[in-house]
């Protein structure tokens, strides 16, 4: 079990203290200050920026997530909000005053604190959970190997696949670790009140994990932790079994499940229709794949991640987020694991579980699984480009478990065996360099790979249990953290929400929304303007929609659902003027991208009057006076004008 000595307790306290300091200081890592340059309003470009550089690529955070959250906070955190989408979209994507918030601790900040600190709480909570959950999980499975456990947690936090996705995977990783630790402690506990607490904790953590609602990561990651935890329990079966008070513990789990189920039933009833509608969208709909599309970059690209950056990368690698994953030592660890089992004449089932997951998921990503297997295991819900994240997490777990397995083991072999092994490792690293040079469209050159090849050849050589090294784990941990440490600069350190809430456009629109909250809005022009209008809480027809608003908006715009395939999707929605004199009420709904469509029509159409579209914001001058014949100017903001319908 975990040794909660002074060092361990101090570590947990420091992690918690840093989280609380970040929240109280309103600090987070979202690129909100990018708004100062995307739509400049005369304010300093550093407004809301503490350090670092905002990244435009992270628009899911600053242009979609932040406006959705601010919008729902402005609307009283209700479970319906047209600015976000149809039905009860906020229950899935925003903080709400609802019983389900008990099971969404990332949203507690909005209930306890002001909006800016609530926002900081929400974004800082995921890395906090990762550090706490992973550190404790590694302490459990390594029998309290402090340095190895802390390094494993930091490696998961600082890896490219975590930081460049704004720590989205981190909450899932952390909750998996916490759930596993709670399960083991429940198995060994003998005190009644502690058994009850652990039983409820286990059910609670499992529900929190499920409500993160991102199967592409959750399904493979669940298998990973079940395999590693299952291997740990089998290794420790003599210590864990027979289970004391197993009947009482089972009963407590049933009671906990019943109570949590009763609390969640209202949420299920409220969100059921929304979930069904989301599963029936054209995009993303119900994903079903068999893998095999390969890595966005390649499995070894992380070795050379210092050479690329968010502005310089091969076009075939899409972008810095999609190409990022995790360092892997699996190609060296996997054959050494087989040799280790043969030499020791026994199988470490925890190591075997981590190895099995790594091999299976690597095959899934690179070559694909039979369709029936992918569907039966639900891994079909994880496209290859998303499965590479759980695979990367598995690679880190495999490395920690392997290092723990060889911690006190050395196998004496002839010198030529070690020389051959080191030569093989060097050859492997040269191969990875060749792959990346040929795959990078000239971004990575041969000379640039020299130092990474030497560095990772040395790191991989430390994995050889045939070479005696007193400081094997210390050197490996130091090398790993030093390599990953620059990833701290991937995201900026930002403060508050002022790049949005103090923006001139936001402050111009917000009073009109407050005066007439039932009026609908349309932005005629830039999608970025729509994002800021969404943040005000406006009932906007344009903007980013998680689901189409069928019952109100599209019942008028497309009563026969002729263009359903264009708008039945998660989408960025824009508007442009289209006037047909022969058919003045014509409205065109056209898909532009997988996640975007356009509404084109006469701004003075009777349809928009019926929808109570009171305000139309132009980011440009109307093409002809006729298109604003039914409106008057309400507010002028430089090149932008807010028109109010008066007919």
| pLDDT tens track for 128-169 | 999 999 999 999 999 999 999 999 999 999 999 999 999 999
Q: Based on the domain organization, do 321 and 450 belong to the same domain?
A: yes
Tokens of 119: 């926002």
CA distance 48 to 52: 11
Using alpha carbons, list the distances in angstroms from residue 380 to 215, 288, 366, 426. 10, 5, 14, 36
Q: Is residue 513 part of a domain?
A: yes
* Separation of alpha carbons 497 and 492, rounded Å: 14
pLDDT more than 90, % of the chain? 96
Structure confidence at residue 438 as a pLDDT band (50, 70, 90): very high
Q: Which pLDDT score, from 0 to 100, does residue 584 have?
A: 73
pLDDT at site 601: 95
Comparing C-alpha atoms, which of 223, 224, 226 is closest to residue 393? 224
Give the pLDDT score at 469: 86
Longest dimension (CA), the chain: 93
Q: Are residues 548 and 431 in the same domain?
A: no
Does 472 score more than 80 pLDDT? yes
Does 195 map to a domain? Answer: no
Pairwise CA distance, residues 262 & 256, whole Å: 10
Residue 516 and residue 431 share a domain: no
Is the predicted pLDDT of residue 118 greater than 90, yes or no? yes
Q: Are residues 435 and 293 in the same domain?
A: yes
Nearest to 330, CA basis, from 373, 388, 417, 290: 388
CA distance 264 to 201: 16
How many domains, the chain? 2
**pLDDT band at residue 70 using 50, 70 and 90 as cut-offs:** very high
Q: Is the pLDDT of residue 288 over 90?
A: no
Q: Round to whole Å and give the CA distance between 48 and 549.
A: 33
**Residue 470's pLDDT band (boundaries 50, 70, 90)?**
confident
Q: What is the mean pLDDT of residues 624-628?
A: 92
Q: Which 3 state secondary structure label does DSSP give 618?
A: strand
SS3 labels along 145-207: CHHHHHHHHHHHHHCHHHHCCCCHHHHHHHHHHHHHHHHHHHHHCCCHHHHHHHHHHHHHHHH
Is-contact 106 90, C-beta < 8 A? no
Is residue 256 a part of any domain in this protein? no
Provide the whole-model pTM.
0.96
> What integer pLDDT is reported at residue 57 of this predicted model?
95
HSE toward the beta carbon, residue 291, CA cutoff 13 A? 28
Instruction: Summarize pLDDT for 521-558 with one digit per residue, the tens.
Output: 999 999 999 999 999 999 999 999 999 999 999 999 99
Residue 286 is predicted with a pLDDT of: 82
Q: Mean of the per-residue pLDDT values for the chain?
A: 96
Q: What number is the average pLDDT over the span 638-645?
A: 96
9 to each of 17, 18, 258, 490, 530, how far by Cα in Å? 12, 14, 34, 29, 47
Higher pLDDT, 468 or 124: 124
Q: Is residue 356 part of a domain?
A: yes
Q: Which residues are bridge partners to 312 per DSSP?
A: none
Q: Check whether residue 458 and residue 337 sit in a common domain.
A: yes
| Alpha-carbon gap, residue 506 to 617, rounded angstroms | 12
For residues 391 and 515, state if they share a domain.
no
The residue segments making up the domain with residue 307 are 287-409+411-467
Q: Which of 177, 434, 478, 212 is nearest to 303 (CA)?
A: 434
Judge if 307 and 381 occupy the same domain: yes
Q: Which of 399, 480, 397, 404 is nearest to 180 (CA)?
A: 397
The answer to whether residues 543 and 398 belong to one domain is no
Write out pLDDT tens, residues 585-623: 889 999 999 999 999 999 999 999 999 999 999 999 998
Model confidence at 90, in pLDDT bands (50, 70, 90)?
A: very high
Q: What SS3 class is residue 551? A: helix
List own/partner pairs for 419-422 with CB under 8 A and 24 or more apart: 421/461, 421/464, 421/466, 422/457, 422/461, 422/464
Q: How far apart are CA 31 and CA 118, in angstroms?
A: 17
Long-range contacts formed by 408-417: CB under 8 A, 24+ apart = 409/340, 409/344, 409/465, 410/465, 410/466, 410/467, 410/468, 411/343, 411/465, 411/466, 412/466, 413/466, 417/466
Q: Is 279 inside a domain boundary?
A: no
Residue 590 bridge partners (DSSP): 598
Are 441 and 538 found together in one domain? no
Residue 384 lies in a domain: yes
Mean local confidence (pLDDT), 446-470: 96
Strands (E), 447-557: 493-495, 520-524, 539-540, 543-545
Looking at the domain assignment, is residue 590 inside a domain?
yes
Q: What is the mean pLDDT of residues 2-28?
A: 98
Q: What is the mean pLDDT of residues 414-439?
A: 96
CA–CA distance, 579 with 585 (Å, rounded to integer):
8
Residue 555: inside a domain, yes or no?
Answer: yes
The label of the residue with tokens 């932005």 reads: 523
Residue 550 pLDDT:
93
Is residue 461 located within the same domain as residue 532?
A: no
Provide the pLDDT for residue 580. 87
One domain for residues 373 and 419: yes
Q: Are 328 and 438 in a shared domain?
A: yes
């Amino acid at each position: 079990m975990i040794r909660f000595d002074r060092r361990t307790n101090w570590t947990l306290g420091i992690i918690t203290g840093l989280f609380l300091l970040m929240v109280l200081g309103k600090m987070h890592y979202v690129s909100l200050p990018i708004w100062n340059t995307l739509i400049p309003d005369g304010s300093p470009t550093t407004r809301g920026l503490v350090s670092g550089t905002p990244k435009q690529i992270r628009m899911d955070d600053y242009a979609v997530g932040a406006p959705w959250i601010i919008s729902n906070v402005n609307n009283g955190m209700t479970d319906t909000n047209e600015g976000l989408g149809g039905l009860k979209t906020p229950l899935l994507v925003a903080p709400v005053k609802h019983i389900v918030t008990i099971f969404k601790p990332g949203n507690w900040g909005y209930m306890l604190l002001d909006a800016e600190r609530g926002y900081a709480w929400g974004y800082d909570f995921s890395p906090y959970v990762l550090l706490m959950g992973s550190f404790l999980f590694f302490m459990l499975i390594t029998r309290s190997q402090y340095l190895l456990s802390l390094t494993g947690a930091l490696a998961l936090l600082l890896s490219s696949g975590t930081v460049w996705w704004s720590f989205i995977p981190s909450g899932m990783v952390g909750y998996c670790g916490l759930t596993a630790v709670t399960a083991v402690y429940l198995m060994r506990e003998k005190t009644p009140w502690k058994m009850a607490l652990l039983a409820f904790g286990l059910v609670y953590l499992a529900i929190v994990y499920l409500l993160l609602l991102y199967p592409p990561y959750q399904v493979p990651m669940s298998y990973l932790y079940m395999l590693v935890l299952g291997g740990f329990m089998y290794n420790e079966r003599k210590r864990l079994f027979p289970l004391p008070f197993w009947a009482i513990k089972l009963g407590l789990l049933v009671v906990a499940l019943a109570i949590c189920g009763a609390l969640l039933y209202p949420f299920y009833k409220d969100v059921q229709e929304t979930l069904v509608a989301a599963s029936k969208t054209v995009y993303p709909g119900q994903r079903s794949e068999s893998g095999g599309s390969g890595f966005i970059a390649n499995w070894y690209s992380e070795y050379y991640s210092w050479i690329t950056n968010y502005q310089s990368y091969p076009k075939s690698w899409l972008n810095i987020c999609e190409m990022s994953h995790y360092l892997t030592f699996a190609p060296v660890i996997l054959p050494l694991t087989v040799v280790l089992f043969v030499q020791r004449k026994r199988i470490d089932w925890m190591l075997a579980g981590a190895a099995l997951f790594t091999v299976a998921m690597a095959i899934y990503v690179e070559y694909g699984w039979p369709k029936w297997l992918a569907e039966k295991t639900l891994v079909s819900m994880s496209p290859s480009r998303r499965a590479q994240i759980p695979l990367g997490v598995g690679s880190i777990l495999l490395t920690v478990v392997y290092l723990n397995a060889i911690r006190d083991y050395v196998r004496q072999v002839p010198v030529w065996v070690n020389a051959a092994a080191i030569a093989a490792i060097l050859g492997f690293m040269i191969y990875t360099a060749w792959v990346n040079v040929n795959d990078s469209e000239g971004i990575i050159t041969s000379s640039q790979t020299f130092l990474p090849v030497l560095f990772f050849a040395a790191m991989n050589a430390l994995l050889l249990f045939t070479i005696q090294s007193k400081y094997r784990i210390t050197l490996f941990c130091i090398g790993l953290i030093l390599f990953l440490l620059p990833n701290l600069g991937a995201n900026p350190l930002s403060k508050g929400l002022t790049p949005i809430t103090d923006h001139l456009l936001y402050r111009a629109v917000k009073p009109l929304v407050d005066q007439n909250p039932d009026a609908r809005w349309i932005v005629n022009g830039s999608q970025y303007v729509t994002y800021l209008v969404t943040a005000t809480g406006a009932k906007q027809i344009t903007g980013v929609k998680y689901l189409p608003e069928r019952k109100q908006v599209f019942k008028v715009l497309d009563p026969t659902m002729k263009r359903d395939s264009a708008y039945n999707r998660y989408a960025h929605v824009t508007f442009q003027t289209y006037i047909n004199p022969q058919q003045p009420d014509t409205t065109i709904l056209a898909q532009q991208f997988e996640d975007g469509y356009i509404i084109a029509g006469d701004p003075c159409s009777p349809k928009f009057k019926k929808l109570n579209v009171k305000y139309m914001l132009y980011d440009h001058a109307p093409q002809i006076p006729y298109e604003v014949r039914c409106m008057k100017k309400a507010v002028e903001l430089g090149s932008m004008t807010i028109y109010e319908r008066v007919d």
